[in-house]
């Protein structure tokens, strides 16, 4: 068996420093799910079309399936597992729960992360701004109305 070439990467995920050897072809999603066991970020399409793998990379939302592992060396990654603290859900998570912002829930981590990124930079978005910020996230259950209500609720709570 031929050993695949690897690259050493050091980064922080949810505030914890990590160092590992990643195969050159690995994506950030491979690192999170397969190497670190952080399976909250979902693998929907694996080609940048559904947003179910959305994480924050240095504070900005990215599709983790489209980011090469080597790119995250020195970066800070926030995943859905890092939003709750002290056993309490974040405001965005709680709003999705209270407003029934998901049905099967597969898309929910991606929507929550994209919404968290939006509200971090724009605490009082208009509906048009919410739709624009979430335009890269797909929900096969068609729960878009409840998702919009959830983001509105999260924004109102922060007012
Ligand atoms: S799994 Fe990454 S965009 Fe669909
Ligand atoms: S709630 Fe099922 S895919 Fe969105």
| CATH assignment of the domain containing 72 | 3.10.20.30
Structural domains of the chain, count: 2
* 155 alpha carbon – ligand 2 mean position (Å): 21
- Say whether both 72 and 114 belong to one domain: no
Q: In the chain, which residue ranges form alpha helices assigned H by DSSP?
A: 28-30, 91-98, 108-121, 127-133, 144-157
Overall pTM surpassing 0.85 (yes/no):
yes
> What is the residue-averaged pLDDT of the chain?
96
- The predicted-structure confidence for 86-116, as pLDDT tens digits, reads as follows 999 999 999 999 999 999 999 999 999 999 9
Query: Which residues have a Cβ under 8 Å from the Cβ of 124 and sit 6 or more positions away?
Result: 155, 159
In a domain, 150, yes or no: yes
Question: What would the pLDDT profile of 43-73 be if each residue is shown by its tens digit?
Answer: 999 999 999 999 999 999 999 999 999 999 9
- Index of the ligand 1 atom closest to the CA of residue 46: 1
The domain of 13 spans: 6-80
Let me know whether 27 and 76 are in one domain.
yes
Tokens of 28: 């950030």
Same domain, 75 and 108: no
pLDDT of 158:
72
pLDDT of 127 reads 98
**Is the pLDDT score of 1 beyond 50?**
no
In a domain, residue 86? The reply is no
Q: Does 53 contact ligand 1 (Cβ within 6 A)?
A: yes
Nearest alpha carbon, ligand 1 atom 3: 48
pLDDT of residue 159: 61
- pLDDT value for 2: 56
């Amino acid at each position: 068996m031929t050993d695949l070439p690897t690259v050493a990467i050091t980064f922080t995920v949810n505030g914890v420093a990590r160092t590992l050897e990643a195969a050159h072809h690995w994506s950030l999603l491979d690192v999170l799910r397969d190497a670190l066991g952080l399976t909250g970020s979902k693998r929907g399409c694996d080609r940048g079309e559904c947003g179910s793998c959305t994480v924050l990379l240095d504070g900005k939302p990215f599709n983790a399936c489209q980011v090469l592992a080597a790119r995250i060396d020195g970066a800070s990654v926030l995943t859905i597992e890092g939003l709750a603290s002290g056993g309490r859900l974040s405001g965005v998570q709680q709003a999705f729960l209270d407003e029934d912002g998901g049905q099967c829930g597969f898309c929910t981590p991606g929507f929550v992360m994209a919404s968290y990124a939006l509200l971090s930079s724009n605490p009082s978005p208009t509906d048009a701004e919410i739709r624009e910020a979430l335009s890269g996230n797909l929900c096969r259950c068609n729960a878009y109305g409840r998702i919009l209500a959830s983001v509105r609720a999260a924004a109102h709570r922060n007012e």
